[in-house]
């Protein structure tokens, strides 16, 4: 790509106790100032990856480079990488100011008291919590504690900031507020950030790039738009949002369009990169699926069904539709009005350019997990 990466993960692998392959040969280059989010289901190895970056656990194999320098086995206190913990982990016996200045106090480099005071004040202003310097962590709310945690990790102006689900302990409203604030602070300081969450919405709103992790490996790396609208696997498609999926086979290919035959009928898609007879899945996001009253005209890419559930979610209305051909479908409409009520017969259709074709079945992932896999893809 363009510049040399700020942080590189090269074939990074962690096997716990010689059996649990928590992280499996992951590759990632992160640019200076970039906000990268690791997202994935519980136990997929996000924390393990982050903890290797912070130096709390040694990789089984592979390496980590920072500005081209190998830091794989550098102890955590020699890394210039700040970290914010999910459990916040403020020092309970120290005031807010002492927490923030802890890094300066233990540093080899000596800071004068006025430097320390200035930095504490600056950090408190950054997280918009002046006047709290003399309080103890237990005298702060959860959200305030998390801000101080952030301030503490930024006080030494680290090159890289790691955040392991820092917002998951907060309630919905506070979390959203902290999301915006965190993004703002990150941009203001331009610090390279690796953020971990299992909340796809959080990942979508905050990141420059998203890494979707599954079972120890990276399924896909891309911008929020790419991973949402152009997922490379059904796992990514499912994980990044609600989806309507149709499994089928490519039966015709043309210069502009292909035809995919599924159990639900034939669909025309604008993706021509697949050979005929290839097994694929068609993904249509709920907001790309349109709905109308039933009509006799048989247009392309149309299904019929009955509305079973209507969810009013404020700005969008979500319809669950039971279709004879395709099972349950989800349609989301942002026009504001209510297009149908429960029990209505409707017609559902989509534009060939709005769907995404995903290869299926997913090529077996080349892992030699010593734990026997339950599924079909068992190697050997």
Partner 1 sequence: MYPNQRWGCTRVSSKTTRIGERFLDITPNSAKDNLGYVIIGIPVALLVVFFLIPTLYLFATTFFPREGSGYYQIGFTLEHYARLFDSPIYGRYLWTTLELAAVTTVISVVLGYPIAYWLARVESPALKRGLLLMIVATMWITVIIRAYAIQVVLAGDGILNSLLLDFRLISEPITSSTGYIPTIVGMVYGFLPFAILTIYTSIANINPKLEEASRNLGASRLQTIRWVVLPLSKNGIAGATALVFILAIGSYVVPMLLGNPSEWTLPVIITEQVNEQMNVPFGAVLSAVLTALTIFFFLIAVKVLGLGSDQLIGDTPEGETDGQ
For partner 1, the binding residues (CB under 8 A) are 54-56, 75-77, 81-83, 85-93, 102-103, 105-107, 137-138, 152-153, 156, 168-169
Query: For residues 20 and 116, which CB has a smaller minimum distance to ligand ATP in the complex?
Result: 20
Which among 187, 111, 195, 194 is positioned nearest to 155, based on CA atoms? Answer: 111
Q: Does 47 bind Mg ion (CB under 5 A)?
A: yes
- Binding range to ligand ATP, per CB under 6 A, among 41-49, 139-147, 203-211, 316-324: 41-49
Nearest approach, Cβ of residue 175 and partner 1 (Å)? 13
Identity of the residue, 93 or 275, whose beta carbon is nearer to partner 1 in the bound complex:
93
Q: What token pair was written down for 224?
A: 């929020």
CA-nearest of 54, 55, 58, 74 to 22 is 58
Q: Which does 45 bind (CB under 5 to 8 A by kind): ligand ATP, partner 1, Mg ion, none?
A: ligand ATP
Separation in Å, CA 261 to CA 113, 255, 276, 280: 73, 18, 11, 10
Tokens of 107: 């540093």
The SS3 call for residue 338 is coil
- Give the nearer residue to ligand ATP in terms of CB position, either 43 or 294: 43
Supply 196's token pair. Answer: 């971990």
Q: Quick one: which H or E segment has residue 152? A: helix 142-154
Fill in the DSSP letter of residue 314. S
The one of partner 1, ligand ATP, Mg ion, none whose footprint includes residue 137, by CB under 5 to 8 A per kind, is partner 1
Our CA dihedral for 77, 79, 83, 87, rounded to 10 degrees, sits at: -40
Minimum distance of partner 1 from residue 339's CB (angstroms): 41
Going by C-alpha positions, the residue among 222, 202, 186, 195 that lies closest to residue 85 is 195
Smallest gap, in angstroms, from Cβ of residue 57 to ligand ATP? 8
Considering the rule CB under 6 A, would residue 47 count as an interface residue with ligand ATP? yes
Rg value, the chain, Cα: 25
Binds ligand ATP by CB under 6 A, chosen from 9, 22, 81, 356: 22
> Which of 378, 379, 307, 312 lies closest to 341 in space, CA to CA?
307
Rounded Cα gap, residues 252 and 277, in angstroms: 8
Q: Which does 198 bind (CB under 5 to 8 A by kind): ligand ATP, partner 1, Mg ion, none?
A: ligand ATP
Quickly tell me which residue has 């035959």 as its tokens. 261
- Which of these segments, 40-48, 177-185, 259-267, 290-298, binds ligand ATP (CB under 6 A)? 40-48
Q: How many whole angstroms separate alpha carbon 119 and alpha carbon 191?
A: 17
**Residue 103 binds which of partner 1, ligand ATP, Mg ion, none (CB < 5-8 A, kind-dependent):** partner 1
Q: Which is nearer to ligand ATP, 19 or 277 (CB)?
A: 19
Look at residue 138 and give the partner it binds from ligand ATP, partner 1, Mg ion, none, a contact being a CB closer than 5 to 8 Å depending on partner kind: partner 1
Distance between CA atoms of residues 29 and 129, nearest Å: 34
Would you say 50 or 227 has its CB closer to Mg ion? 50
**From the CB of 21, what's the least distance to ligand ATP, in Å?**
8
Q: Give the binding-site size for Mg ion (rule: CB under 5 A).
A: 1
Considering CB distances under 5 to 8 angstroms, the limit depending on partner class, which of ligand ATP, Mg ion, partner 1, none binds residue 91?
partner 1
Q: Is 378 exposed, middle or buried (0-12, 13-18, 19+ CB in 10 A)?
A: exposed
Shortest Cβ contact with ligand ATP: which residue? 47
DSSP 73: T
Instruction: Considering the complex, state which of residue 83 and residue 203 has its C-beta at the smaller distance from partner 1.
Output: 83
Residues 33, 44 contacting (CB under 8 angstroms): no
Q: How far is the CB of 56 from partner 1 (least distance, A)?
A: 6
List interacting residues with Mg ion (CB under 5 A): 47
List interacting residues with ligand ATP (CB under 6 A): 16-17, 20, 22, 40, 42-48, 198
């Amino acid at each position: 790509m363009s510049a040399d990466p700020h942080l590189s993960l090269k074939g990074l692998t962690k096997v716990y106790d010689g059996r649990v392959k928590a992280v499996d040969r992951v590759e990632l280059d992160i640019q200076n100032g970039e906000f990268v989010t690791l997202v994935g289901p519980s136990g997929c190895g996000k924390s393990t990856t982050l903890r290797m970056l912070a130096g709390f656990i040694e990789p089984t194999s592979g390496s980590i480079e920072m500005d081209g320098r190998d830091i794989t086995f550098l102890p955590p206190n020699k890394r210039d990488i700040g970290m914010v913990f999910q459990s916040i982990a403020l020092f309970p016996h120290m005031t807010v100011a002492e927490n923030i200045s802890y890094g300066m106090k233990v540093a080899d480099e000596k800071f004068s008291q006025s430097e320390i005071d200035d930095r504490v004040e600056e950090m408190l202003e950054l997280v918009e919590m002046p006047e709290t310097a003399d309080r103890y962590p237990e005298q702060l709310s959860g959200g305030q504690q998390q801000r101080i945690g952030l301030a503490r990790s930024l006080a030494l102006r680290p090159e890289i900031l790691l955040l392991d689900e820092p917002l998951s302990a907060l309630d919905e409203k506070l979390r959203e507020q902290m999301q915006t604030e965190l993004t703002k602070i990150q941009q203001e300081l331009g610090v390279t950030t690796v953020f971990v969450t299992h909340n796809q919405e959080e990942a979508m709103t905050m990141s420059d790039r998203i890494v979707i992790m599954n079972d120890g490996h990276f399924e896909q790396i891309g911008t929020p738009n790419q991973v949402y609208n152009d997922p490379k696997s059904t796992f990514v498609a499912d994980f990044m949002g609600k989806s309507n999926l149709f499994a089928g086979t490519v039966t015709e290919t043309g210069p502009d369009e292909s035809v995919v035959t599924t159990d639900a009928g034939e669909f025309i898609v604008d993706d021509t990169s697949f050979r005929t007879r290839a097994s694929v899945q068609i993904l249509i996001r709920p907001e790309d699926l349109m709905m109308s009253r039933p009509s006799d005209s048989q247009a392309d890419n149309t299904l019929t069904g009955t509305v079973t559930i209507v969810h009013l979610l404020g700005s969008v209305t979500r319809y669950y539709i039971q279709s004879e051909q395709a099972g349950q479908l989800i349609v989301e409409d942002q026009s504001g009005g209510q297009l149908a009520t429960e029990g209505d017969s409707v017609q559902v259709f989509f534009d060939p350019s709005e769907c995404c074709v995903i290869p299926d079945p997913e090529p077996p992932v080349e892992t030699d997990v010593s734990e026997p896999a339950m599924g079909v893809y068992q190697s050997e």
